[in-house]
Amino acid sequence: METNPIPVLTIQTTPFDDQRPGTNGLRKKTSVFESKKNYLQNYIQSVLSSIDLRDRQGCTMVVGSDGRYFSRAAIEVIVQMAAANGIGRLVIGHSGILSTPAVSCIIRKIKAIGGIILTASHSPGGPAGDFGIKFNIANGGPSPDTVMERIYQVSRTLEEYAICPDLHIDLSRLGRQDFDLENKFKPFRVEIVDSVEIYLNMLRGIFDFGAIKSLLTGPEQLKIRIDAMNGVMGPYVRRILCDELGAPANSAVNCVPLEDFGGQHPNPNPTFAVSLVESMKGGEFGFGAAFDADGDRCMILGQNGFFVNPSDSLAVMAANLSCIPYFRQAGIRGLARSMPTSMALDRVAKAMKVALYETPAGWRFFGNLMDSGRCSFCGEESFGTGSDHIREKDGLWAVLVWLSVISVRKQGVEEIVKDHWVKFGRNYYCRFDYEGVDPRAAYYLMRDLEAVITDKAFISQKFAVGNNVYSVEKTDNFEYIDPVDGSVSRNQGLRIVFTDSSRIIFRLSGSGVGVGATIRIYAESYERDPERHSRETGIDQSLAINNGVMDLLLLPLQH
């Protein structure tokens, strides 16, 4: 305990006009947070002030990071400001490290008012990289639109922030650290906790660890290759997959969290997880996975580098949830996917006779569904999958689901996926990202494209792509009415839906960091015939964006 009370200071500042949080919080180049005076402090104050003062006084919050550059400096500021703003206790991961799923888990476990996660997900780290601040609410999930708007409105008029600049903590020392503050009746407490333990205990209650351990160590041992991509997941992979479940130590690679992720993009896809893909192509390993920086997304690979499209992974997992003790006990109340995610999950929901919810992109939309008991399992096409065990997508949980399915079915990844296609049909699917688009041009493109596709003359048109003919059934600008609270989210993406359920979707993304807008184009083509399930996913086979279709769509858009 400090002998002399630590002073609480009020610092004058001026507001910034660019602190509106996006889909995944506030993301900027690291240099903006590091070098722009009071930029970090202003945003943290806006987050804290968005919490009602009566709820804030003496409450508990969780803080964690994916270990990227500037995280330690930012955590110190967050601690100093939390203390000054009346927070009673902070729970922080050892060395500042906590995966996003672990933060969600701890918030729910200790009934915290929320948590601050320092991450820019799959974006690069280091001084020239990206940095982000995400605020999760009391259910453990991302902030809904109402909370993000409240934070933004505070940031626009902020004139001062409170801080205890003389308060310093030791992130390397597990346990409690108490501090007396001026004009505060109770000491401010910081608890440094093991980054893995609470999350691991939760997983023990969900999965049959004995069965998974037998799979990884028994006579028919499944050899796995797990790439943590030098992000937050290294300690989790080592502790859970290797120490707890018996996978050999050399099963896990790139497990040391680095501030710059080793100079790589911690993005779990075939483009950036190249070393994993090459390792899997050799045939030595039967299962492979890679995680993003904060551990909420993962890529799944089978033997010989067989790539499982995230939308397929979502559907296959849903169809096999009975392999997981948690779901055998709790049952399946409903499934959910983001609108751009392929409709493969819809076919599983229909077969299971459970509700299927289609939401806008962004994990926050699943929270209400799960909190109200409507949804048990959900996911997005961007490599994120999760369930109602927490309120975030969860990469390692998804890996354990896959290992559980393999253990029960006694099949490899590729065989499981292809059996799924035979039963449900295959949804060929791909996504194209156009980044750095001039925001004004992006706005006009989407506006004019909407006018083209919603014109009555466009409905029932036919497009020939290879040997297939696609007939337009309906078009719209996706709008979501939350079945729980009735809130409406408009302008969530332009959809062209064909009579066979194939789709083309155009969407402006809200998760970018760089200059300019990002336009994402998604293409999906459904194939029932098993004889046509082995084609490569490409522009032809997934509708992709056939030149003739694009010419027709974009011709009226020239300015």
Structural tokens at position 70: 């500037």
The identity of residue 317, as a single letter, is M
Tokens of 483: 């079945």
Q: Is the dihedral of CA 94, 169, 43, 16 positive or negative?
A: negative
C-alpha torsion angle, residues 357, 482, 398, 22 (rounded to 10): 130
The residue assigned the tokens 């497990």 is: 255
* Residues forming a β-bridge with 370: none
Choosing from 104, 121, 123, 338, which is the catalytic residue? 121
Cite the DSSP H helix spans in 19-58. 30-35, 39-49, 53-56
- For residue 442, the 8-state DSSP code is H
Alpha carbon distance 314, 98 (integer Å): 25
Closest of 119, 235, 107, 203 to residue 397, by C-alpha: 203
Q: Which residues, in sequence order, are bridge partners of residue 177?
A: 190
- From the list 425, 60, 11, 399, the residue with the least C-alpha distance to 227 is 399
Nearest CA among 527, 519, 556 for reference residue 543 = 527
Helices 395-409 and 100-110 cross at an angle (nearest 10°) of 100
Q: Are 550 and 531 in contact (CB under 8 A)?
A: no
Q: What's the farthest any 2 CA atoms get from each other in the chain?
A: 80
For residue 478, report the phi and psi dihedrals to the nearest 5 degrees: -60, 130
Active site residue 121: yes
Residue 184 and residue 5: Cα distance in Å, rounded? 9
- Tokens coding 211: 């069965």
C-beta separation of 332 from 377 below 8 A: yes
Q: Which amino acid, one-letter code, is at 497? A: V
Residues 546, 539: contact at Cβ < 8 Å? yes
Nearest to 64 by CA among 197, 177, 192: 192
Strand partners, 25: 22
Strand, helix or coil for residue 63: strand
Active site residues: 121
